[in-house]
Structure 1
């Protein structure tokens, strides 16, 4: 692949947000997946992505925490800022010491988190501001009212939800239009297809799949487990455990064989499958390596037939293992309903 690439663009939602077909998830550039990466190298990856046609960057105040936002902000200094749609998230507060994290959608915290993110990123406006996780203790309408205020003040342009149930999406959308819902969607994880994705499409909301390569499984294969650092949270994921992993190795080999026949890599095939789901989908694979970045961008040029799609979905139907442990699943869209707004 040459250095001059024209990545097609897609419109997400009905409020005017337009992004590159494929984005860049920046989470892995901060120490959630093991040791921290050199900031200068990560800035180079981000700027290379922009120069190669990626305009959609995804971060969060949780990553690091905060350090990821600072790295992204530095990468966007100067003319780079005008070339991208910058997305960040709020709502998971990292507590001091060993007290872990807590989800917070309190209106006052929404304002506080936005102002802090603007400062960390070094920007005057955030293009897309997500509710990272839904606070099940307060009505979503209260969180949305604060976000609507931020739109009116010009601090954010578009509002997104992450890991939100169909009910929550509808209630939030009634307060102010939701442009994007971010969710885990890949050949590895398809549970959102039954309810969440149809809800988004009924309301005209764009879909941003995170972990589109199955937490690295479709980019590296089963050997990805061997590269996990001791503190890598992926070690605890059921799909990477024991018999599940042994079974999923077979699945990967089938995808790998199909990719060889198509003249692409397994990761490109997995991303192309998502891109063929509809023009309202923009996945955000993460990477810390320019080689992998270029490979991911190449997925937008992989063409799949209906037969290819059917074959991939038949393979995906055999995946074994839940997304997360039972405790972590409590924060996902299946359980993320909020109390009703009192009259």
Structure 2
């Protein structure tokens, strides 16, 4: 499998988002998750993404429990500054908080170093220079190898890079969420920063297996923060956008989900960013195996462009997040 670069690190073009095994999509079965994580390494995943926020640290503990003896087989990414306090999501990018959370993550992960450590969200009360300066100190101390940012604007990336090189920017990117195309992909190219796409399958939408919000429980983000596009009336119209992609998937002998991931891999050269990695998340072993299979789907430039025109954010009904969630985002359109 071809490798893609994140700073000094080398990873496969499709990594594994681990959030849903502890957070965001309802309860998960721990024995199944442990089996999934091990099988993921066996079938070719070598980039695993977790965070302090996911399950209040439980996701990091899960990775350590499942893969402690296999730590050398994968690149490990985690995140700081976003967590729950008194049951409410809190953003705190102060230096002392970042240092404390890094130490706690290292203990939960049972590792000496985190390969890629992101500022999970920009703290509007703390200059990005202070937060990144602290992350740079953690690099010098050997606690982390590379610095990343999540859900930030191009302006923030520029300011951060003046303090320390940023190896990766993570944000939502898929056929139905094109925000990074406004400016971020070009800015990443300018600074030799890898773009890491989360929710590349549009929260299961692109697989054709998703349902409207009424089918999910309270612990599922499609019933709250990510609800707008899954509202019954909006979803009934949005799901029709998949029909032309189904025909292409049949021709290529792949699933619509694999087609969406293959489109993202092909975007690395078309959007001014030569290094782009996606991290589809799942708590289901069969979906994990299906997702990595997308690396076998090849798209030429013409077909890539055709797919991108068949399903585009401008066609989708509903915002990607509820209004309250949008207010904490630091990105070109989301902050307007």
Q: TM-score, normalised by structure 1?
A: 0.91
Which of 253, 275, 285 does residue 280 from structure 1 map onto? 275
Distance 1:227 1:337 in 2: 27
Q: Deviations over 1:33-59 (max 9, x none)?
A: 112x22221111011111111110000
Task: Give how far 1:227 is off.
Answer: 4.6
Unaligned regions of 5+ residues in structure 1, if any? 1-6, 339-343
Aligned to 1:4: none
Task: Give how far 1:226 is off.
Answer: 6.0
CA contact (8 A) 2:80 2:98 kept: yes
Q: Deviations over 1:171-222 (max 9, x none)?
A: 1111010000001000010011011111111111001000000011112444
Aligned to 1:313: 308
Task: Give how far 1:293 is off.
Answer: 1.1
Aligned to 2:271: none
Q: TM-score, normalised by structure 2?
A: 0.93
- 1:65 aligned counterpart, secondary structure: helix
Distance 1:216 1:76 in 2: 26
Unaligned regions of 5+ residues in structure 2, if any? 269-273
Distance 1:337 1:263 in 2: 36
Mark the CA change 1:331 to 1:260 in structure 2 (over 3 Å): closer, same or farther.
same
CA contact (8 A) 1:259 1:265 kept: yes
Aligned to 1:186: 174
Matched, 1:10 2:4: yes
CA contact (8 A) 1:62 1:94 kept: yes
Aligned to 2:239: 249
Distance 1:224 1:266 in 2: 18
Aligned to 1:324: 321
Task: Give how far 1:322 is off.
Answer: 0.9
Matched, 1:167 2:158: no
Distance 1:190 1:239 in 2: 14
Distance 2:108 2:255 in 1: 36
CA RMSD of aligned residues (A): 1.8
